[in-house]
Structures are given as structure tokens and as C-alpha cells.
């Protein structure tokens, strides 16, 4: 096994035991990128020089034994909507094609302070809008398990990079499932924390009331470690909460005995792939075997979630993306007057999906439609949230599939946006309600493609879903499978 | 037909906070272009706003001082539109649920008190500034002002004349100045106003077509623009014409309002609650704390000046029309406790000079060469009989031009009043000797000659003789 295949905790242990240096580990990851990224295309930017410099610094700190950070010297990747000071940040959009930010996102600053090595910026659907990583202005990313298939989106680049060992772990963002869905497609672990748990400062906003940063890792322990490093109140983000951050990595053990796990009947419906259903049912049975009590629950407003999501998310996005006007940074078109400059810059700078969503959102907020769409969507959102509150009165966590299918083929759904929107059907409610949820591998379909299991937690109860996920992971082998091992 | 104007005002008051509303940048006026900026206030990708607590406190102060209801859970909203000086493509403001609603202020209109209702007071961020015509065909943008906190104070259409509008604005300006939330400087744009003016047939209770006038940056402009608009609208209507709802600009030079492109008034701002900022929850303790800390307001101060210093209503009103003047008065009185005389000097001489030099609106008391203490000193010199009231006028003029202390001027120029009987007697004797004919006339019963003779003695002493002493001695001599 190469060094690049290590999990974060194993890499950290290896560095601490001086069995390898951060420079060696980083070189192994860079070599892996050089070998496989030509096919997978997970990265938009690889910062070889920067990574080597950071690795050397990490080795110095390691030799001085001064830091006990588990991230020290570990090569990580960031979705390209995290602002990185001095390192190009494009959000996979032409409109930010040459944008070099003057500051670091709070989460990036936390990683740097913890001594992590940032190897590069990963591909995504433009402005994080999409479920396939095909909507990038630069190139689509391929699924490491099957190059003809998508890695899922929008954090598809990060998911593919982790699955292909092109980094030790990565960060993504999740607005409607953008961490969990590609994690499921790529057979890795993806955690969306509670809204407010992790700072959004320095993340290029898509839909402010739902965006959240989270870890994408090779196993559950890694997710706990990475979440510990990035969670916590940030005075620069008014929506981040002032709550103590538990030691997630120490709360993994203990099993599921006595835990009540809800299974929502609305999540097992026609349209989901039978193999996905079977795998998830098997996973639920495994948890029951370990002593969990399985409760049949109802989340009656589930069917409205996709519609509500696309009104609120597009409304917020239409406003969040107004700043890309070609005036102060990014792409500016040459035009005769101010109005034409705005219009042409945006016309040339944004891709089709982004334009579609800006138009939808603008419409939903416009005079005469605001009450019928935006306000009504907010009211239904409150009902969806209430469904979860009621469910959590009788259970400690909720278990569902992450996606209705496994990864689809590249190009298969690009002509039908509505079909594409339905791939997030199981993840979207969680964002509307601001809850934490984790996706982890729970099997493979006949084609050998990974299937994801989603565990949804009470607000700010990341510890419980990590514990359930860890218990399941320890009992199974899925997470140890590599794309190369197939067939 | 007779037309009645209906006027409502929207005032933007720039708050005197040290930092901007959503970031830590300085709000100092006059810095190098774009010096007071950071990623947050220039709207770089990824930035988030964090509300400045002081702005909320100032809004609460203004709301409580104007009898508003405080909204316990208000919201900040986005007002979406494109403009080069608007870095995020939206302005953070308040829409539904502003922080203060349903207040009022009382104004004085020709001796009577009138109550003007306030619709709302809300918080918002200022935009930047576009600078045109300096680099050929390009425009420059200065974002120093972007994110500077403003209060927008909106009145009900309760005003019925240009005079009432000006009186309302002066009263409102005094209130925000007394509260310490805004410096009220119209010249630098920290207190600016848009007026909504319509006219309707006198006696009607329907509202006419509303015209918004922008660009009003002095009391004079406001007065003239409203008067112009009342006349224009009345003329259109009495000529059988129709008015269209529009925004008009006040043209200072031509002294007229003119239409802005109608395109600019047809905006759909697509307001919605800003998802980056949670609802602003204001608890009762905070309100109580701010209320307890409210300073004395103009109305209360006026009452105290009338009670405590025994000033007439007129003087008390003028002195409390501005906080700096009221402070100046009290400081002068501390230096010398003759409130009536100090008030007369301020209301008379200080205001006269302001008017003569056309400083009414751009005046700052801290740039005034006569410090309050010095004015007190001047009055003291009069009260002590050291100079006459007449000489005091000369001394005051000299204080204005040189900034020297009155005592200094009096000694330098030898202006002390002469009360010493023997030296006055010498002058009287000289005058009597030189005016034999007039003395005869007086003695034969022409009483008016007495005044002439007093004048001659005063002239001979260079105005320095104590007039009372001169009077007494002259009467005795002529007996
Ligand atoms: Zn700033």
C-alpha cells in the first residue's frame, strides 16, 4: 500500500512515529495525482510548490514535537469554493477564472494553523450548483470507480480525490447534499455538520441559509478528526453558533446498543434502485443486530422538500451571485456602457445551470411572486423542520439511503435538469432543517458501484451520528475497498 | 382652486460610530479613496456581515427619543439592485420588521406645537461613491463610504408647507445631535433628505400623485425645492394637467426640480430577509438600559433653560435648536452666571454674524473664534463696570478677528471704562467751557441740550467714561 492510501489517522500516526516525513507523504500524494488525475480530473489547481513548502514546515514542527494536532503534515484537498489566500479560487466558474483571493476562509486558516498541507483545489459544479460535477466551467470529473460515470456533485472533485488517494482527506460544502451525495457515489465518508457548527466565512456562497462546510474522508474516524479541527464559533460568521465543540474522535466508541434509530417510510419509495434499497435494509439490519432499536417513523412533508429547496436556494443564490458583475475582480466583458458591461460579463462568465438558477431565484423573489413562492416555501420549510423535531422525540438518529441510485453516467442527466435535481431527494430535507448528517459506504451494486447509507442527527448532535456510523463501519468491510480492488 | 400640499420626508442620518455597520473598518470622513475598506465592505466572494452592536444601540436611542415602538425581533433584509458603488449587488437594509415604528416628534410652527408622526426608523448600510469625469471616459469608484451605518427616518405625510418641512428637519437634526448618534452635517452628507410631495384640492382627504425629490443637501434647498414643487404641481393641476408618479432632482443652480429618467424609479428591489444575519432580538433589559442612558433632549433642555435660567421661550428655543449652541451657552454661563446677558449675546450677536457670513448651515461652534468661557468673560467685564455695553461690541468684534481674550483686548487698547470722578470732571469742565452757548440754551429750559452735552463728554473720553457717572456729574454742574 502506498503512503497516499493512508487514512488521516493512520497518516498522522505514521508521521508521529517518524516512519515517514510529511515531505515523503506529500510527494506520495503528488505522485498519485500525477499518475491518475489525468483521467479522473479531480483537481482544478494543484499547488505542488506550496504543498512542498508546507510539508517542510510541518516536518520541522514534527521534529520539535511542539504540536499535537492530528492534521500536522497531512496533505488535504479543498473544494475550489474555499478562499485560499494567494492561491487561485475559481468556484469552477469562468467569471472567477483568474481570481486570487487576498484572504483565507476561516476553515482554511484553521487547517493551516493545525499544520495541514494543502495540496490543491478540487473541481465542483459551478458555484456548487449541481449533483454531478459535470457543470464545471473547466472540465467534468470522473468517478474513480468507473470513468464513464460522474463522481456526484457538487463536491465531486473532493470525493474523487479522496476515493482515488489523490489526497488523504478533503473538505467540501453541502447545500442540498453536495458532500453526502458524491461521498455515496465515490464510496467514501462525507459529513454535513449542523448549520452553524462550522464557519462559512470565506466560502463562496451559494445558498446562505443552507451552505455548510464538512469533511470528506476515507473513514469515520477521519471525519471526526477533521470536524474537530474546523468546528466552532467564528465571530466573522453571524450564523455560527457559540456552543462547545465535543471531542468527536473520543466519542466514536460505545456502539449502538439501546439507541433508537428511526427509519422514515417516506424515504423508501418507488424510483429508488432495488440494489440501493437492499443494501440500506441490510445496513439497518446490521445496526439492529448490534442492539439498536429500529423505529418506523414518518416525515410527512418529505415530498415537498425538493420544490421548497429549489425556491429558497435559487432565491438566495440569485442575490449571492449579484456581486459577480465584472467591476472589481473576475471576468469583465468589453461593452459600450455600464448596463451592457454587467449583462455581457455575466452572460459570458456564468454557465447554463448557474443562469438557470439565477433566473429561477430572481423570479421567485420578484414583486407579485414573493408571497406565492418564497414566503410559502419558507412556511413549508418550517413544517419540514417540525417533522424532524417530532421524529426526534422518539428516536436518537434517523437512517436512510443517501441517494436513490448509484452514480449515473456522464452526460446521462445533463439534458434533464429536473431528473438531476431528484438525485438529492434524500439529502435536501436535512439542509432545509439545518441538521447534521453523514453518508458512509454500505455496499456495492452489481456494477461494483458504491452505495451510501445516510444517518441524520438531532441539531448539533454530530457525536451520535458519528458513533452510529463508526459502529456500522467497524462491523463491515465496505470502507476498506478501493476502486482498484473492483472485480 | 386652492391646493393643499402633503409632504413626507425620508431622512438618512449617518451614525457616529467609529466602525462600519458590518465590519471593523473606520468611518472617518476624508480618507484617501478606498483606504477604509476590507474584504467585507467591498463585498469580496465569501465574506459575511456581522452587525455592529453600536449601530443597534444608536437606532434604539433614536427610536426611544422619538416615542417609537421597538420591534423585539426585527430583521435585516437585502435590497437587490446593480450599481458600481454597491459592491455586493445588494444593500443590507430593513424592510418588513424595521427596528423602530410608530413614533412622533413635536415641532414648533408659528408659535404652535404640531405633532409629526414617524412611520419607521430603520438601519442600513451606505453605498460607495462614483467619481465621474476625471479620467476621460472612465469612472472611478471610492468604497470608503460603503458600509457606513445609516438610520433612515421616515415621516408620515403630515407636513403641509415648506416651512413645516424645514422646522421638522431642524427639530429632527437637533434630536439626533443631542443623542450623539449623528453630527447632522448636511454639507458632508451625514444628514440628508428626500422629500415626497403631492398636492390635493384643499379640504380633500385623498392623496395626490406623489413626487419624490432627491438631492436635497441644505435647508435652503429643501425649502426652495418643496416650494417649487408645490407651485409646479398646483399649476399643472389647475391647468387641467395630470401628474405622473416620478422621482425628480433638485437643480441647485437653476432653482428647479427636474425629472430623473423614469427607468430608475421602476425598480423591483426583490427584498428578502438576509440569510447571513439572524433575526435581531432585542430584549427588554437592553431597551431599559438604553432608555436610562438617554441624554437630555432639546425639548427638555428648552424647558430647563426657561425654568433654570429664567429665559424667555424664544431665546430658549433658539439656544436649544442645536446641541453645540446649547452646550456653548451653558459653558459661558458657567464662566459667568448672567444667563440673560449671555443668551442675548448668542441669540443677538453670534447669530447675526452667522447670518452675515452665511454660515447658518455649515457652522461648527468649535471653529468659532470666541470660546464660551471668553464670552462669559466679556459679559463679566460689562457687569463689573469695566467696559460699557457699547465698548463691548468693539471688543467682541476684535475677539472675532483676533481670537484674543476680552481682558487682553481691553488692556491692549486701553478700553477700560473711566468711572473716576475727578478725571471725568476735568472733561466736563472742558466741554462746558467750550460750549457756552449750549449751556445758556439748556439753562433757559431746552432740556434736549443735556443729551448733546453728555455726547460731547463721551466723545472727549473716547467712549470710555462711565455714562452713569457722566450723567450724575453733569447734572450737578449745571444746577
Ligand atoms: Zn470593511
Q: Is the peptide bond before B181 cis (omega within 30 degrees of 0)?
A: no
Average pLDDT, integer, range B341-365: 82
Cell of B436: 457756552
Query: Is residue B259 scored above 50 in pLDDT?
Result: yes
Residue A264: band (very low, low, confident or very high) from pLDDT cuts 50, 70, 90: very high
As a whole number of angstroms, the distance between CA A75 and CA A57 comes to 13
Average pLDDT, integer, range A54-80: 95
As a whole number of angstroms, the distance between CA B133 and CA B33 comes to 16
Q: Which residues pair with B130 in a beta bridge?
A: B141
Give contacts of B271 with chain A, Cβ < 8 Å: 365, 370
Query: Is residue B138 scored above 90 in pLDDT?
Result: no
For ligand 1, the distance from its centroid to the CA atom of residue A101, given in whole angstroms, is 16
Residue A112: band (very low, low, confident or very high) from pLDDT cuts 50, 70, 90: very high
Sign of dihedral through CA atoms B37, B43, B48, B49?
positive
Average pLDDT, integer, range A394-399: 97
B50, B272, B278: residue with CB nearest A236: B50
Query: Is residue A39 scored above 80 in pLDDT?
Result: yes
Q: Which of A315-324, B68-77, B129-138, B430-439 has the lowest mean pLDDT?
A: B129-138
pTM of the predicted protein model: 0.89
Cell of A68: 499535537
As a whole number of angstroms, the distance between CA A455 and CA A283 comes to 11
Contact A438, A190 (CB under 8 A): yes
Q: Which residues pair with B160 in a beta bridge?
A: none
Instruction: Specify the pairing of strand A293-297 against strand A212-217.
Output: unpaired
Query: Is residue B60 scored above 80 in pLDDT?
Result: yes
As a whole number of angstroms, the distance between CA A207 and CA B276 comes to 10
Q: How deeply is B286 buried, as exposed, middle or buried, from its count of CB atoms within 10 A (0-12, 13-18, 19+)?
A: middle
- Cβ of A319 under 8 Å from any chain B Cβ? yes
Q: Is position A446 annotated as part of the catalytic site?
A: no
Average pLDDT, integer, range B181-196: 91
Minimal CA separation from A230 to chain B, in Å? 16
Task: Check residue A484 and give its pLDDT.
Answer: 81
Give chain B's radius of gyration (CA, Å): 29
Contact A395, A295 (CB under 8 A): yes
For ligand 1, the distance from its centroid to the CA atom of residue B225, given in whole angstroms, is 36
Task: Check residue B361 and give its pLDDT.
Answer: 64
Cell of B362: 455649515
Residue A487: band (very low, low, confident or very high) from pLDDT cuts 50, 70, 90: very low
Contact B163, B109 (CB under 8 A): yes
Average pLDDT, integer, range A158-171: 98
- Cβ of B279 under 8 Å from any chain A Cβ? no
As a whole number of angstroms, the distance between CA A434 and CA A428 comes to 10
Maximum distance among all alpha carbons in chain A? 70
Q: How far is CA A66 from CA A69, A229, B159, in A?
A: 9, 17, 71
Minimal CA separation from A107 to chain B, in Å? 12
For ligand 1, the distance from its centroid to the CA atom of residue B34, given in whole angstroms, is 10
The string of DSSP letters for A38-99 reads HHH--EEEE-HHHHHHHHHHHHHHHHHT----TTTT-EEEEETTB-BTTB---TT-GGGTT-
Interface test with B, best of A89, A236, A329 (most B CBs within 10 A): A236
Cβ atoms < 10 Å from Cβ of B318? 19
Task: Check residue B12 and give its pLDDT.
Answer: 97
DSSP letter, residue A123: -
- Cβ of B281 under 8 Å from any chain A Cβ? no
Contact B166, B222 (CB under 8 A): yes
Average pLDDT, integer, range B23-41: 94
As a whole number of angstroms, the distance between CA B315 and CA A102 comes to 58
* Helical pair B467-478 and B449-460, crossing angle rounded to 10 deg: 130
Nearest C-alpha neighbor of B223 from the set B7, B443, B14: B7
For ligand 1, the distance from its centroid to the CA atom of residue B79, given in whole angstroms, is 19
Contact A190, A215 (CB under 8 A): yes
> Taking CB atoms and an 8 Å limit, are A319 and B80 in contact across chains?
yes
Contact A76, A118 (CB under 8 A): yes
As a whole number of angstroms, the distance between CA B256 and CA B288 comes to 47
Cβ atoms < 10 Å from Cβ of A44? 23
Give contacts of B92 with chain A, Cβ < 8 Å: none
Residue A43: band (very low, low, confident or very high) from pLDDT cuts 50, 70, 90: very high
Query: Is residue A223 scored above 70 in pLDDT?
Result: yes
b/e B337-351 (16+ beta carbons within 10 angstroms → b) = ebbebbbebbbebbb
Contact A200, A316 (CB under 8 A): no
Task: Check residue B116 and give its pLDDT.
Answer: 97
Nearest C-alpha neighbor of A128 from the set A316, A273, A302: A316
How much of chain B is in helix, strand and coil states, percent to nearest 5?
A: 40, 20, 40
Q: Which residues pair with A397 in a beta bridge?
A: A261, A457
Checking ipTM against 0.90, whether it exceeds it is yes
A200, A327, A366: residue with CB nearest B48: A200
Contact A55, A25 (CB under 8 A): yes
What tens digit of pLDDT does each residue of B439-451 get?
888 888 888 888 8
b/e B183-197 (16+ beta carbons within 10 angstroms → b) = bbbbeeebbbbbbbb
Contact B191, B173 (CB under 8 A): yes
Q: Which of A95-104, A360-369, B182-191, B354-363 has the lowest mean pLDDT?
A: B354-363
Task: Check residue B362 and give its pLDDT.
Answer: 67
Higher pLDDT, A90 or A1: A90
Contact B85, B141 (CB under 8 A): yes
As a whole number of angstroms, the distance between CA B479 and CA B477 comes to 6
Mention every residue, 6+ apart, whose C-beta is less than 8 A from residue A94: A137, A331, A348, A349, A350, A351
Q: Which of B56-60, B131-135, B178-182 has the lowest mean pLDDT?
A: B131-135
Name the strand (E) or helix (H) holding B101. strand B100-109
Average pLDDT, integer, range B370-376: 90
Mention every residue, 6+ apart, whose C-beta is less than 8 A from residue B265: B212, B245, B246, B247
Residue appearing with cell numbers 456494477: A447
- Cβ of B272 under 8 Å from any chain A Cβ? yes
DSSP letter, residue A143: B
**Average pLDDT value over all residues in chain B:** 89
As a whole number of angstroms, the distance between CA B118 and CA B106 comes to 11
Tallying the residues shown for chain A, one arrives at 487
β strands within B110-238, DSSP E = 112-125, 129-135, 138-142, 149-155, 191-201, 211-216
Give chain A's radius of gyration (CA, Å): 21
Q: How far is CA B45 from CA A84, A100, A379, B79, B127, in A?
A: 11, 11, 29, 18, 18
Sign of dihedral through CA atoms A84, A90, A96, A97?
positive
Catalytic choice (A21, A93, A154, A223): A154
As a whole number of angstroms, the distance between CA A330 and CA A320 comes to 15
Name the strand (E) or helix (H) holding A443. strand A437-444
Average pLDDT, integer, range B244-248: 87
What tens digit of pLDDT does each residue of A338-366 get?
899 999 999 999 999 999 999 999 999 99
Cell of B124: 442600513
Higher pLDDT, A159 or B136: A159
Q: Is position A79 annotated as part of the catalytic site?
A: yes
As a whole number of angstroms, the distance between CA A177 and CA A426 comes to 8
Cell of B407: 481682558
As a whole number of angstroms, the distance between CA B120 and CA B105 comes to 12
What tens digit of pLDDT does each residue of B420-464 get?
777 788 888 888 888 888 888 888 888 888 888 888 888 887 777
What tens digit of pLDDT does each residue of B287-313 get?
999 999 999 998 899 999 999 999 998
Query: Is residue B360 scored above 90 in pLDDT?
Result: no
Contact A154, A178 (CB under 8 A): yes
Average pLDDT, integer, range B313-323: 88
As a whole number of angstroms, the distance between CA B406 and CA B370 comes to 10
β strands within A112-258, DSSP E = 117-122, 169-174, 189-192, 212-217
Query: Is residue B143 scored above 90 in pLDDT?
Result: yes
Q: Which of A287-296, B140-149, B213-222, B441-450 has the lowest mean pLDDT?
A: B441-450
In a 13 Å sphere around the CA of B348, the CA atoms on its Cβ side amount to 9
What tens digit of pLDDT does each residue of A177-217 get?
999 999 999 999 999 999 999 999 999 999 999 999 999 99
Cell of B272: 428578502
- Cβ of A379 under 8 Å from any chain B Cβ? no
> Taking CB atoms and an 8 Å limit, are B272 and A338 in contact across chains?
no
A83, A318, A325: residue with CB nearest B46: A83
- Alpha helices (H) along B321-369: 323-335, 339-344, 351-356
Amino acid at each position: 500500500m502506498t503512503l497516499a492510501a493512508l487514512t488521516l489517522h493512520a497518516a498522522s500516526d505514521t508521521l508521529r512515529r517518524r516512519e515517514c516525513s510529511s515531505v515523503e507523504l506529500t510527494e506520495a500524494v503528488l505522485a498519485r495525482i500525477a499518475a491518475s488525475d489525468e483521467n479522473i480530473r479531480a483537481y482544478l489547481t494543484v499547488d505542488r510548490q506550496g504543498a512542498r513548502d508546507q510539508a517542510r514546515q510541518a516536518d520541522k514542527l514534527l521534529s520539535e514535537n511542539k504540536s499535537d494536532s492530528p492534521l500536522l503534515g497531512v496533505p488535504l484537498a479543498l473544494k475550489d469554493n474555499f478562499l485560499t489566500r494567494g492561491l487561485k479560487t475559481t468556484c469552477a466558474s469562468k467569471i472567477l477564472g483568474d481570481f486570487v483571493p487576498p484572504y483565507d476562509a476561516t476553515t482554511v486558516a484553521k487547517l493551516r494553523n493545525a499544520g495541514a498541507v494543502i495540496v490543491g483545489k478540487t473541481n465542483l459544479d459551478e458555484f456548487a450548483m449541481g449533483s454531478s460535477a459535470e457543470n464545471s466551467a473547466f472540465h467534468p470529473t470522473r468517478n474513480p470507480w468507473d470513468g464513464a460515470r460522474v463522481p456526484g456533485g457538487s463536491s465531486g472533485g473532493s470525493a474523487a480525490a479522496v476515493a482515488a488517494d489523490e489526497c488523504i482527506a478533503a473538505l467540501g460544502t453541502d447545500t442540498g447534499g453536495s458532500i453526502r451525495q458524491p461521498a455515496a457515489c465515490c464510496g467514501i465518508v462525507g459529513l454535513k455538520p449542523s448549520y452553524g457548527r462550522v464557519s462559512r466565512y470565506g466560502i463562496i456562497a451559494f445558498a446562505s441559509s443552507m451552505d455548510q462546510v464538512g469533511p470528506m474522508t476515507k473513514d469515520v474516524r477521519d471525519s471526526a478528526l477533521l470536524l474537530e479541527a474546523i468546528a466552532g464559533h467564528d465571530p466573522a460568521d453571524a450564523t455560527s453558533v457559540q456552543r462547545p465543540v465535543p471531542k468527536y474522535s473520543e466519542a466514536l466508541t460505545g456502539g449502538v446498543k439501546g439507541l433508537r434509530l428511526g427509519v422514515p417510510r417516506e424515504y423508501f419509495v418507488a424510483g429508488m434502485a432495488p440494489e440501493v434499497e437492499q443494501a440500506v435494509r441490510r445496513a439497518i439490519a446490521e445496526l439492529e443486530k448490534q442492539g439498536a432499536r429500529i423505529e418506523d417513523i414518518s416525515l410527512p412533508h418529505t415530498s415537498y422538500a425538493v420544490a421548497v429547496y429549489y425556491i429558497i436556494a435559487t432565491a438566495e443564490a440569485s442575490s449571492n451571485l449579484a456581486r459577480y458583475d465584472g467591476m472589481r475582480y473576475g471576468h469583465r466583458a468589453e461593452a459600450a456602457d455600464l448596463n451592457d458591461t454587467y449583462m455581457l460579463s455575466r452572460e459570458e462568465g456564468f454557465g447554463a445551470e448557474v443562469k438557470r438558477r439565477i433566473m429561477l431565484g430572481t423570479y421567485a423573489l420578484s414583486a407579485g411572486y414573493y408571497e406565492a413562492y418564497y414566503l410559502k416555501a419558507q412556511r413549508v420549510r418550517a413544517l419540514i423542520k417540525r417533522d424532524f423535531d417530532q421524529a426526534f422525540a422518539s428516536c436518537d438518529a434517523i437512517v436512510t439511503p443517501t441517494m436513490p441510485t448509484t452514480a449515473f453516467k456522464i452526460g446521462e442527466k445533463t439534458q434533464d435538469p429536473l431528473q438531476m435535481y431528484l438525485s438529492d431527494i434524500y439529502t435536501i430535507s436535512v439542509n432545509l432543517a439545518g441538521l447534521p448528517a453523514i453518508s458512509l459506504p454500505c455496499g456495492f451494486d452489481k456494477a461494483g458501484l458504491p452505495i451510501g447509507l445516510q444517518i441524520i442527527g438531532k441539531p448539533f448532535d454530530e457525536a451520535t451520528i458519528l458513533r452510529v456510523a463508526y459502529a456500522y463501519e467497524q462491523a463491515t468491510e465496505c470502507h476498506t475497498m478501493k476502486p482498484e480492488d473492483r472485480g | 382652486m386652492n391646493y393643499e400640499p402633503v409632504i413626507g420626508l425620508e431622512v438618512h442620518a449617518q451614525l457616529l460610530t467609529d466602525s462600519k455597520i458590518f465590519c471593523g473598518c473606520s468611518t472617518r470622513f476624508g480618507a484617501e479613496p478606498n483606504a477604509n475598506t476590507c474584504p467585507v465592505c467591498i463585498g469580496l466572494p465569501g465574506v459575511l456581515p456581522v452587525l455592529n452592536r453600536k449601530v443597534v444601540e444608536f437606532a434604539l436611542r433614536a427610536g426611544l427619543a422619538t416615542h417609537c415602538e421597538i420591534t423585539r425581533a426585527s430583521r435585516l433584509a437585502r435590497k437587490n439592485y446593480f450599481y458600481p458603488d454597491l459592491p455586493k449587488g445588494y444593500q443590507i437594509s430593513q424592510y418588513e420588521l424595521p427596528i423602530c415604528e410608530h413614533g412622533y416628534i413635536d415641532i414648533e410652527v408659528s408659535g404652535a406645537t404640531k405633532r409629526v408622526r414617524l412611520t419607521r426608523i430603520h438601519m442600513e448600510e451606505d453605498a460607495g461613491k462614483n467619481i465621474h469625469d476625471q479620467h476621460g471616459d472612465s469612472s472611478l469608484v471610492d468604497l470608503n463610504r460603503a458600509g457606513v451605518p445609516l438610520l433612515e427616518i421616515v415621516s408620515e405625510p403630515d407636513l403641509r408647507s415648506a416651512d413645516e418641512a424645514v422646522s421638522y428637519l431642524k427639530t429632527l437634526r437637533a434630536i439626533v445631535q443631542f443623542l450623539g448618534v449623528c453630527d447632522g452635517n448636511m454639507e458632508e452628507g451625514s444628514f440628508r433628505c428626500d422629500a415626497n410631495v403631492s398636492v390635493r384640492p384643499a379640504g380633500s382627504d385623498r392623496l395626490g400623485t406623489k413626487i419624490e425629490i432627491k438631492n436635497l443637501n441644505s435647508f435652503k434647498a429643501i425649502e426652495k425645492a418643496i416650494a417649487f414643487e408645490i407651485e409646479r404641481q398646483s399649476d399643472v393641476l389647475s391647468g387641467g394637467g395630470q401628474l405622473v408618479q416620478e422621482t425628480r432632482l433638485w437643480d441647485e443652480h437653476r432653482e428647479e426640480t427636474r425629472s430623473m429618467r423614469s427607468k430608475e424609479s421602476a425598480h423591483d428591489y426583490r427584498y428578502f430577509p438576509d440569510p447571513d444575519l439572524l433575526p435581531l432580538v432585542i430584549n427588554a433589559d437592553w431597551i431599559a438600559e438604553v432608555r436610562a442612558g438617554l441624554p437630555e433632549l432639546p425639548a427638555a433642555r428648552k424647558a430647563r433653560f426657561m425654568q433654570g435660567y429664567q429665559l424667555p421661550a424664544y431665546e430658549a428655543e433658539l439656544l436649544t435648536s442645536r446641541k453645540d449652541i446649547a452646550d456653548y451657552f451653558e459653558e459661558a454661563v458657567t464662566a459667568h452666571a448672567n444667563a440673560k446677558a449671555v443668551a442675548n449675546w448668542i441669540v443677538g450677536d453670534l447669530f447675526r454674524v452667522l447670518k452675515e457670513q452665511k454660515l447658518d448651515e455649515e457652522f461648527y461652534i468649535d471653529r468659532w473664534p470666541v470660546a464660551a468661557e471668553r464670552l462669559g468673560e466679556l459679559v463679566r467685564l460689562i457687569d463689573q463696570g469695566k467696559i460699557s455695553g457699547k465698548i463691548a461690541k468693539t471688543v467682541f468684534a476684535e475677539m472675532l478677528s483676533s481670537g484674543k481674550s476680552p481682558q487682553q483686548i481691553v488692556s491692549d487698547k486701553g478700553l477700560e471704562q473711566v468711572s473716576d470722578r475727578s478725571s471725568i470732571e476735568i472733561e466736563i469742565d472742558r466741554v462746558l467751557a467750550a460750549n457756552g452757548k449750549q449751556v445758556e440754551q439748556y439753562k433757559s429750559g431746552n432740556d434736549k441740550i443735556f443729551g448733546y452735552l453728555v455726547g460731547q463728554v463721551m466723545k472727549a473720553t473716547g467712549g470710555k467714561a462711565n455714562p452713569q457717572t457722566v450723567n450724575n456729574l453733569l447734572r450737578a454742574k449745571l444746577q
